[in-house]
Structure 1
Amino acid sequence: MTRTWEQLEQTQPIVLKMLRNSLKKERLAHAYLFEGMKGTGKREISLVLTKSILCKNSIEGYVPCETCSNCKRINNGNHPDVHLLEPDGLSIKKHQIQSLQEEFSKTGVESKQKIYILVHADKMTTNAANSLLKFLEEPNAETTAILLTEQIQQILPTILSRCQVLSFTPLSPNEMAKELVRNGIKPNEAPLLAQITNNFDEALTLSTDEWFVQARKIVVKLYEALKGAPLEALVALQRDWFTQFKDKDQFDRGLDLLLLLYKDLLYIQLGKHDQIVYVNERDRLEVYALKTSNRRLTEQMTAIFEAKRKLQGNMNPQLLMEQLVLELQEGSSVV
């Protein structure tokens, strides 16, 4: 489903504000470089900008109507004056840029305006980049170039200098969760993935990572063991935690998962049920939240933060976890 200007403005307000001002003042750059992480809306915003330029009935001079023939054909990918160029295999090759230049040397089919969108512009071969550079050095007043990249450091400085660079910020956890759902992640799994990383690619990878799936289960089991007899949690550490979390990075991720679980308990106590990320454990967490206090949860979360700090200070991870478990258990009843 195509998102509207207003919807995209929720995810990238600064980028849309800059484009809105340029459109209203009719001062569009001849070349843009949209740079930022995957999943931040670069491609969608390149298409909404294209519609804004070619729309026959734009609202207030910048919002595409989405109903005219130009908007509909751009949405369907078949407007004759809009060209989308993607890597041919692993790279964008010289012949692709040359074909584009030949196409743009002709008059626009329906208007003077022509727009090309270069996806993964960082994947141009050196020859392709040099061909594009010549294209950018002699801009046609009716031509707009939009380059998209997740790797701005791979773009030639000479190309960068000829583009207006718009940086797309990482998504907020809430927007990240929505984007993950749009990419096929189950709605009850997306919130946790969005909180554990702000990198869209990493979130997608974790969603199918069996280690991560198991890690989540072990964190929940450890919390349940903390509610039991004093030795139960130490047994759970030996039996489950130390076999799953082996290096420092894995320990750190485990502590992040544990922290998110305690945050969920706090959110439940504060009545913010819509913010919990362990969605599948909601019923059990609601019961657990009744059996502790707001102050105690804050102390336990502080203990986890301190453990993360000690871990980065090269404290023995096994000893660190044993100490943390004792701190999390101590006075765990209602205060």
Structure 2
Amino acid sequence: MQTWTQMKDIQPLAAQMLMNSFKKDRISHAYLFQGNRGTGKREMSILFAKSIFCKNKEGAEPCQSCRDCHRIDSGNHPDLHWIEPEGQSIKKEQILHLQKEFTYTGLESNRKVYIIVDAEKMTVNASNRLLKFLEEPSQQTTAMLLTESGPTILDTIRSRCQLLAFQPLNPLRVQEKLVEEGVSESNARLLSSLTNNLTEALEMNEDEWFANVRKLVIQLIEVLQNKPNEGLLFINHQWMPHFKERTQLQRGLDVLMLWFQDVINQLLDREESIIFTTERENLNQAAMRWSRQSAARSLTDILEAKRKINQNVHPNLVMEQLTLQLQR
């Protein structure tokens, strides 16, 4: 459940603009919510729909407990229509079906709302059909188009929508939201350092594969510190079997980079910046093993490894070379 107060913490400008539209009774017939995945577009669209339909709202704030609010939460409100990609795209037939639905009077009021998710995935025919729909707006109709790629939306569609830009979430705010969602403080610090996409962070937190990434990074560091001659053995028998895809290996290297950043933070007494807060003993040992200069050099080596992975150099060779560099 989201309130406008909560949404203002996440997306202050977009939330304030929509709240003002209620205060001034100037709800536009079409909005384009543009921003990266996980920035709150879907949550905002649901809250906005509740504010439109809720009969017990105070200002813009819906009551969250009436029949309309509950049915919007469950996806069963008869006058709120969702359009999402079927397969890889949103097709002309889906827009035609929507138009047909809107020829009927609202079942419980004259107000109708439709939300198009991943609007950039509309086919050309679907976009042209939607354009005709937008060119003859009903004052009782409100459209919300949600997209991660605003520039790919037809200019003629964009010009008929009020644009709301959803900004990337602040890492500290992502961390706070993750803790509110029940994520441990240590995991929240790590996840918010890897992504400012709240949805992605929550998915990673539930992913057993990712949980093992953290363990493998710590194990690699322990091997490099205590049994450096076994470094290549560890890479080939434990590290690489876990990172079967290049994207997975990139994620592992991202976490490894955060570790060496923490080594530098430890050496500089930047307590508030440390991410691996539950690995203090390992960090203390690492701060004795790597100087600030060698830790910085290790970060450079990891960045170079990431670049080689992107250039399709064989992952095993990249990791073997990186391991030898980290042992220096």
Deviation at 1:183, TM superposition (A): 9.6
C-alpha separation between the residues in 2 aligned to 1:215 and 1:100? 45
Contact 2:223 2:231 in 1 (8 A): no
Secondary structure of 2:114's match?
strand
Q: Map 1:149-160 onto structure 2 (within 5 A).
A: 149-160=147-158
Tell me if structure 2 keeps the 8 A contact 1:262–1:297: no
SS at match of 2:32: strand
Q: CA deviation at 1:262?
A: 4.2
CA deviation profile, 1:22-72 (whole Å, cap 9, x unmatched): 32222332111112232222111101111222332333x222222344333
Cα distance between partner residues in 2 of 1:183 and 1:122: 30
Structure 2 residue runs of 5 or longer lacking an equivalent are 309-316
Looking at structure 2, the residues matched to 267 and 109 of structure 1 have their Cα atoms a distance apart, in angstroms, of: 63
| Aligned residue runs from structure 1 range 166-181, under 5 A | 166-173=164-171, 176=174
- Mark the CA change 1:249 to 1:30 in structure 2 (over 3 Å): closer, same or farther: closer
Structure 1 counterpart of 2:190:
192
Q: Match for 1:306: what amino acid?
A: T
> Which of 322, 325, 334 lines up with 2:324 in the alignment?
322
Alignment of 1:211-290 (within 5 A): 215-228=213-226, 232-233=227-228, 235-241=229-235, 244=239, 253-263=251-261, 266=265, 272=272, 278=276, 282=278, 285-290=279-284
Take 1:190 and 1:221, find their aligned partners in 2: how far apart are those partners? Answer: 21
Aligned-pair Cα RMSD in Å: 4.0
State whether residues 52 and 64 of structure 1, in contact with CA within 8 Å, keep that contact through their aligned partners in structure 2.
Answer: yes
Q: Classify the secondary structure of the residue corresponding to 2:327.
A: helix
In the TM superposition, residue 135 of structure 1 has moved relative to its aligned partner by 0.6
Please tell me the residue identity of whatever aligns with 2:73.
Answer: N
Q: 2:119 is matched with which residue?
A: 121
Q: In the alignment, which residue of structure 1 is the partner of 2:312?
A: none
Please report the TM-score for the alignment, with normalisation by the length of structure 1.
0.73
In structure 2, the CA distance between the partners of 1:127 and 1:6, relative to structure 1 (3 Å rule), is: same
The answer for the alignment partner of 1:40 in structure 2 is 39
Which residue of 1 is the match for residue 130 of structure 2?
Answer: 132
- Answer with 157-166 or 39-48: which moved more: 157-166
Measure, in 2, the Cα distance between the counterparts of 1:87 and 1:226.
48
Q: State the alpha-carbon separation in 1 of the partners of residues 50 and 24 from structure 2.
A: 17
- Asked if 1:147 is matched to 2:149, the reply is no
Q: Secondary structure at the match of 1:105?
A: coil
The 1:151/1:264 distance shift into structure 2, 3 A limit, reads same
Q: How far apart, CA to CA, are the structure 1 residues paired with 2:171 and 2:261?
A: 14
**For 1:19 and 1:113, how far apart are their aligned partners in 2?**
17
Q: Does 1:24 align with 2:23?
A: yes
Does the 8 Å contact 2:257/2:302 carry over to 1? Answer: no
Shift of 1:133: 1.0
Q: Does the CA-based 8 Å contact 2:39-2:197 persist in structure 1?
A: no
What's the TM-score, normalizing by structure 2? 0.74
The offset of 1:138, in angstroms, is 0.8
